[in-house]
Structure 1
Amino acid sequence: MQVDPRGQRVAAGITTFVLVLVLVTGSWALLAAQAVVFAIGALIGLRFSPYGILYQVLVRPRIGPPAELEDQAPPRFAQGVGLVFAAVGVAGYALGTEWLGIGATAFALGAAFLNAAFGFCLGCEMYLLIRRVIPNNRSDREVPA
């Protein structure tokens, strides 16, 4: 499935804002809500993510169709990475290990900001690197006789 890359930048902008609020307030509940957003994007699909729906309804009709689409696998992987950092952050805040909550949130914020401001999706690049190192159908596997 293909997705509009502009939607990913809008979602990253919203995520950046939410994660800044988490760092300012120390709210593990807000970080947990962001983790749910990440989980929906990673597990169900970007199109069904709350930020994806906001983009489809409020932004895309005003800016028109994209010049090109991109494969959804890398951004979905990136959402999964965000989910891991958000879950670690929630655990840190909820268990009283504030430094862990702050650190995990800050890492997620850094990645979201890179995408929102510069269009550089760190999780997408990780996905592509992993795919190069571990391809799906490796030709060097032994074929049983």
Structure 2
Amino acid sequence: MPDPTPDPIPAPAPAAPTRIDPRGPRFGAAVTTVVLLAVLATGSGVLLAAQAAVFAAGAVGGLRFSPYGWVFRHLVRPRLGPPQELEDERPPRFAQAVGLGFAVIGAAGYLSGTGWLGIAASAAALVAAFLNAAFGYCLGCELYLFAVRTARPRAGRP
């Protein structure tokens, strides 16, 4: 008599991480730097909320859905040579989530009349964006890598 239970369906293999041109996040960081300078100069919680929406698009949908990523991909990258190498999208995407957190806190500060909170959160995000734009040093990416390293169980460790 044949076995009535169907063969188990194998679990799908994990998808390879999306690879991106590392110049894209640096371009986005440069635009973000300008936006955050404008936020600090004007104290505009609305402008910071708009930047938060940009961060949210990159964090939730991936960098290809970020408005700055779209501009880079369609207007800037065609004018550049091909990248020397590609990088994993996950660290910059995590950095977008960190930026989103700071932007939401800052916008809430500005819009609620707590200007010092808006200034502090905007300034922190500005430092991170500037470091990435000017020097290619992504603080959020480093946080991601640190979290991945510390979350992995090590052999011989409970």
Aligned to 1:98: 115
Residues 1:30 and 2:56 are matched in the alignment: no
Deviation at 1:52, TM superposition (A): 0.2
Deviations 1:11-69 (A, max 9, x none): 00000000000000111010000000000000100011000000011110000221100
Moved over 2 A (4+): 137-142
Aligned to 1:130: 147
| Counterparts of residues 46-125 of structure 1 (less than 5 Å) | 46-125=63-142
**Aligned amino acid, residue 105 of structure 1:** S
Flag the 1:51–1:140 CA change in 2: closer, same or farther, 3 A. Answer: farther
Give me the identity figure in percent: 64
**Aligned amino acid, residue 133 of structure 1:** T
Residues 1:44 and 2:73 are matched in the alignment: no
Aligned residues: CA RMSD: 1.3
Residues 1:18 and 2:35 are matched in the alignment: yes
- CA–CA distance in 1 between the matches of 2:56 and 2:154? 29
**Aligned amino acid, residue 72 of structure 1:** E
- CA–CA distance in 2 between the matches of 1:76 and 1:16? 17
Deviation at 1:139, TM superposition (A): 5.7
Under a length normalisation based on structure 2, what TM-score does the superposition of the two structures give?
0.86
Structure with a larger share of its residues in helix:
1
Mark the structure with the bigger radius of gyration.
2
Question: What are structure 2's unaligned runs of at least 5 residues?
Answer: 1-17
Aligned to 2:12: none
Deviations 1:73-103 (A, max 9, x none): 0000000000000000011001110000000
Question: What are structure 1's unaligned runs of at least 5 residues?
Answer: none
Number of residues of Structure 1 aligned to a counterpart in Structure 2: 141
- CA–CA distance in 2 between the matches of 1:51 and 1:101? 23
